[in-house]
Amino acid sequence: MNTWPPVEPSCSEEPATREPSRLKIAAREIIQLVLVVLLVRLAMDTLLPRYVVDGASMEPTLSTNERVIVDRLSLLLGGPARGDVVVLDSPRQDELLIKRVIGLPGETVTLRGGRVYIDGELLEEPYVQEFCTYPSCDGTWELGPDEYFVLGDNRSHSLDSHTFGPVPRSAIKGIARLRYWPPDDVSLFTAPHY
């Protein structure tokens, strides 16, 4: 059946596609940049936190107000090595300490006349300028399978394992890898070869 006039198929007019304004594009880019910066900062704070040294217990290696970056990722891949400088929870107070790992799990650590012996062998420590010679510094500790013995480099002025004993691995927060402040003293930390 034919109808007059012919019926045109209906169609709707497509709205003209609009390009986003330059202002909207710039705003989107700024928001994306801010999100990326926040994510990078969060990742750095989680895996590479920064700490300020407070006290003389690690002199001459570290002094008050120096700043270090600590590596947490290495602890996920393995334990700290002998000689690593670590940040740890104090077993006695609600504070963080920075000390050097001296004894490893399963070892026997002896302090005699201020000198350290690991399983009966003298440990040469070039980073110590003054050994602790007080009778209270001497003793012997047998470390468990998950324990570390930590000492400050300034042995006579350090609250460390000679006072509170071995620390569990769970107390160690990370390994100091870089001193970044003051700018004149920027340096990487590496464990000494014994």
In a domain, 78, yes or no: yes
- Per annotation, catalytic residue among 10, 24, 57, 173: 57
Is residue 34 situated within a structural domain? no
For residue 162, tell me if it sits in a domain.
yes
How confident is the model at residue 36, as a pLDDT? 86
Q: pLDDT digits over 40-96, tens only?
A: 887 777 777 889 999 999 999 999 999 999 999 888 888 899 999 999 999 988 899
The answer to whether 99 is a known catalytic residue is yes
Task: Identify whether 37 is part of a domain.
Answer: no
Of 58, 128, 130, 131, the closest CA to residue 97 belongs to: 58
**42: in domain:** no
Residue 12 bears catalytic tag:
no
This prediction has a pTM of: 0.78
Is 181 domain-assigned?
yes
The 10s digit of each residue's pLDDT in 9-44 is: 555 555 555 667 888 888 888 888 888 888 888 777
Residue 7 confidence (pLDDT): 53
Q: What is the pLDDT of residue 70?
A: 94
Q: What is the phi/psi pair of residue 66, to 5°?
A: -75, 155
Given the residues 10, 21, 90, 99, the one annotated as active site: 99
Q: Print the domain residue range for 76.
A: 50-188
Does residue 53 sit in helix, strand or coil? coil
Read off the CATH number of the domain in which 110 is found: 2.10.109.10
Q: Is residue 1 part of a domain?
A: no
**Number of domains present in the structure of the chain:** 1
| Bridge partners of residue 100, in order along the sequence | 85, 151
